[in-house]
Amino acid sequence: MAEKTISKKINKEENVWPASEEEGELAIDLCETKDELILQAAIGGVNINEIDISITNDMITIRGERNREGKDKIDKFYYSECFWGPFSRSLILPQEINADKAKASIKNGLLSIYLPKLIKTKKKTLKIEEE
């Protein structure tokens, strides 16, 4: 199966995702139209260059990291409900898709990934040749 990576790895020096920190799970919506699967995730506060999307014909993995700005200056927290740090989400898709034609975009902190369905012919006639 062909694999398509839409962006660069986050840790370019080691080419490995940081596994030393606790990793959050990215909340997603996955819906379907006649021609494609559409995956959406709210990723506000994440730098577009720190998102890694890997796709095969039947699986997708999204990884990223949300960093708190000015965390060095904070003396005391009253509430800390937002997840900060690395996150990821892998899921098996309900239908095979054409990974080579997948597209991703971000608008107002919403990541949208468009995964065209793989069109398979239902019936193929095989001609027998005589030797």
Look at residues 61, 89, 47, 46 and name the one whose alpha carbon lies nearest to residue 5.
61
Q: How far apart are CA 106 and CA 22, in angstroms?
A: 25
Q: How far apart are CA 84 and CA 22, in angstroms?
A: 10
Task: Report the mean per-residue pLDDT for the chain.
Answer: 83
The pLDDT of 79-90, averaged and rounded, is 87
Are 74 and 18 contacting, i.e. CB atoms less than 8 angstroms apart?
A: no
As a whole-number percent, the residues of the chain with pLDDT over 90 amount to: 47
Map out the domains of the chain with their CATH numbers.
4-116 (2.60.40.790)
Q: How far apart are CA 21 and CA 109, in angstroms?
A: 24
The pLDDT of 85-93, averaged and rounded, is 93
Whole-number pLDDT of residue 15 = 45
Residue 55 has pLDDT above 90, yes or no: yes
The pLDDT of 82-104, averaged and rounded, is 92
Residue 118 has pLDDT above 80, yes or no: yes
